[in-house]
Amino acid sequence: MPIIASFHFDPETIKRFSRKTMIAGAIMAVIGLVGLIFPPLMSLMVVGMMAWLFLLSAVVQGYITFHSYRRSFSAWLKPVMLLIVALLLLFFPGGGIAAVGMMLAAYLLVDAFSSITFAWSYRPHRGWWMMLINGLASLMLAVILLAGWPFSSMVTVGLLVGISLLFDGLALLVFGFYARRLGDDAAD
Give the tens place of pLDDT for each residue, 61-72: 999 999 988 788
Report the C-alpha dihedral over residues 159, 127, 124, 131, rounded to 10 degrees: 10
pLDDT per residue as tens digits for the range 157-173? 898 889 989 999 999 99
Of 187, 180, 174, 184, give the one whose Cα is nearest residue 119: 174
Mean pLDDT of 26-39: 95
What residue type is 46 in one-letter code? V
Task: Say yes or no to pLDDT of 182 above 60.
Answer: yes
Provide the pLDDT for residue 48: 93
Mean pLDDT of 138-164: 87
Tell me the whole-structure pTM to 2 decimals.
0.64
Cα 116 to Cα 34, 129, 163: the distances in Å are 26, 9, 17
Do 11 and 180 form a contact (C-beta atoms < 8 A)? no
Do 105 and 142 form a contact (C-beta atoms < 8 A)? yes
pLDDT over 90, % of the chain: 47
